[in-house]
Amino acid sequence: MSPISDRLRTRLKALQAPEQFDLRPSGTGRVLDLGCGAKKWPDALGVDVSADTEADVVHDLETFPYPLEDNSFDVVMLQDVIEHIGDLYGLMREVHRVARRDARVLIRTPHFSSILAYGDPTHKHYLSLLAVEGLAEPGFAHYTNKRFRVLSNRVDLWLPFRVAGFERFANRFPREYETYFAFRMPAMNIRAEFEVVK
């Protein structure tokens, strides 16, 4: 095997590695991992509906309020969770309640054009960038009075479209991408970061 083909194989493997899209806390302090599953963030407080996970607290995230204190967390992680929750504004009200002022909220969910969105029969929502942004800044005030500042909201495209440069286009022109190109160049995930406004 030549060194060039070894480097190419290593680079291709890195481009395909799913963990590059995993959420990582962007701030410091106490971390809450809601819907943690079997991959709870180290040293986080994990909450999950199943006792067969790494959860510290077993609780159904569709039952409000959560058994957590107000203003207790600096980072809240929601990795592959929101698509399973029926009442997304109820979820975000609880996130707002348990998070401290200026806390970071990290979200990853399958994009509506992704096979990942439709590959799990427990998914209740197929979300767009606009819908995720609407969780932070609802278009109608009567949905919720809890607010978040959108720090980032982006799509991750599948490897062929990333290599071809379409991911840059999709994130620079998200409405055009979702309106005209999403099913021609499907995305994998949406990753967003919000800041809690209190």
In the 3-class helix/strand/coil scheme, how is 10-51 assigned residue by residue?
Answer: HHHHHHHCHHHHCCCCCCCCCEEEECCCCCCCCCCEEEECCC
User: What does the pLDDT look like over 76-133, one tens digit per residue?
Assistant: 999 999 999 999 999 999 999 999 999 999 999 999 999 999 999 999 999 999 999 9
Looking at the domain assignment, is residue 178 inside a domain?
A: no
How many CB atoms are located within 10 Å of the residue 180 CB? 11
Is 12 part of a structural domain of the chain? Answer: no
Count how many domains the chain has.
Answer: 1
> 26: how many CB neighbours lie within 10 A of its CB?
12
**1 domain residue, yes or no:** no
Q: Which domain holds residue 49?
A: 27-157+189-197
- Which CATH number does the domain housing residue 96 bear? 3.40.50.150
**Residues 21-51: pLDDT tens digits?**
999 998 789 999 999 999 999 999 999 999 9
Residue 148 lies in a domain: yes
Does any domain span residue 74?
A: yes
Q: According to the model, what pLDDT value does residue 57 have?
A: 98
- Residue 173 is predicted with a pLDDT of 97
* pLDDT of residue 18 exceeding 70: yes
177 within a domain of the structure (yes/no): no
Confidence of residue 61 (pLDDT cuts 50, 70, 90): very high
